[in-house]
Structure 1
Amino acid sequence: MRYLAPNLMYEHLIKMKGYLKKPLVGMDVGLSFIGVSISSEGHKVARPLRTLNRDKDDVKKVIRDLVNERNLSGIVLGWPTYNLKRTDNTGTVEKFAEELFQMQDLGDLRFTTWGENHMTKIAELLINKLEYAAGEKEQKKADTDMLAATSILQGYLDYINCDKTRLHSWSFKLCSSQLSPKSPPTPKKNPKKTPKKTPKK
């Protein structure tokens, strides 16, 4: 997999044949859970999909299954910032991005990042209005992350569908990522051993 900045990801998508029928997946990455959302056909609306438990689920296998079964066009990771500065959770997303870089078996699939901008906090406020049993604390957290992933993906979908001529540069800066573009590491080649010359007698 390779990373593209949000605007370059958009340019990549519109060049992709039949991309409107290939959904995007959004992810809210945390230490314990990863909320997952998916876009509708036409890339208009994001909807909740599932939540991954990082201790119990094989995250890489789930991603591979999503790519193969849903024919994805790309992945959007939530990028946590506060006043355009890094937060404690930013490093968690960076480490997860490194794991995506290592998944070279996914071919030409790209991923990008989009600003969270308190989306997890907004999701918590919405979830708090629902009635969970006392023993459903973990389920409540999982649902919160899934809803946050939906908000992250919807933000990016709104960007790719908006009139770019009316988009202020400051608003794009507010949501675009600070993740440095990288390419998957190239496998190291074993140096060829030159045969030792035997001295002539």
Structure 2
Amino acid sequence: MIERVMGLDLGGKRIGVAVSDPMGWTAQGIEMVQRTDDSRWIERLHQLIEEYEIRSIVVGLPRNMDGTIGERGRACQDLARELEGRFGLPVHLWDERLSTAAVERTLIEADMSRKKRKKVVDQLAASWILQGYLDARSKARERSD
């Protein structure tokens, strides 16, 4: 079954958004949504879900290096439950340890300025998270065939 998946890198001020291709093989960062005190950011996510015909969502779950879940992780779990209830879509949590750091390192190696990095790091981190999920899902399917 083909399904488009949305990946989210949840931050306190911004949310990086990525979507899979229609076959569910590759992730592409598409947008950075500002988190606001009102519901505009949720409305924007809803627009993107409809526009891309999203069938499930992957939310990056920040874990401590020892694998435990801290305050930020619990906040992501809470928001994942909220998104699942609001949009009626399955929401999967995916370990995002070091995703933002890896993206930052890649952008620095590409000699991207700090100002430009700030504009793209969240959506690239969302893409990194989503690609990890898609790759793992693909490997699980291969093993079951």
TM-score normalised by the shorter chain: which range applies?
0.7 to 0.9
Query: Superposed, which structure 2 residues align to 1:2-81 within 5 Å?
Result: 19-20=1-2, 22-55=3-36, 58-81=40-63
Secondary structure (helix, strand or coil) at the match of 1:141 reads: helix
How far, CA to CA, are the matches of 1:127 and 1:89 in structure 2?
24
Please say if 1:156 is aligned against 2:133.
yes
Query: Superposed, which structure 2 residues align to 1:122-201 within 5 Å?
Result: 122-129=102-109, 130-132=111-113, 136=115, 140-163=117-140
Shift of residue 95 of structure 1? Answer: 3.6
Q: Give the structure-2-normalised TM-score.
A: 0.84
Shift of residue 46 of structure 1? Answer: 0.7
Pairing partner for 1:97 from 76, 80, 99:
80
Listed one character per residue, the Cα deviations across residues 28-76 of structure 1 (whole Å, up to 9, x for unaligned) are 0010111110101211111111111113882211121122222111100
CA radius of gyration, larger in: 1
Residues 143, 67 of structure 1: CA spacing in aligned structure 2 closer, same or farther, 3 A cutoff?
same
Aligned-residue Cα RMSD (Å) equals: 2.4
Counting aligned pairs with the same residue, the percent is 26
Q: Give the structure-1-normalised TM-score.
A: 0.62
Pairing partner for 1:110 from 73, 76, 90:
90
How far, CA to CA, are the matches of 1:92 and 1:142 in structure 2?
23
Residues 84, 102 of structure 1: CA spacing in aligned structure 2 closer, same or farther, 3 A cutoff?
same
Shift of residue 163 of structure 1? Answer: 4.3
Listed one character per residue, the Cα deviations across residues 140-193 of structure 1 (whole Å, up to 9, x for unaligned) are 334111111101000110111114686xxxxxxxxxxxxxxxxxxxxxxxxxxx
Shift of residue 111 of structure 1? Answer: 0.9
Structure number having the greater strand percentage: 2
Residues 160, 102 of structure 1: CA spacing in aligned structure 2 closer, same or farther, 3 A cutoff?
closer
Number of equivalent positions: 141
| Aligned amino acid, residue 28 of structure 1 | D
Structure number having the greater helix percentage: 2
Unaligned runs of 5+ in 1: 1-18, 167-201
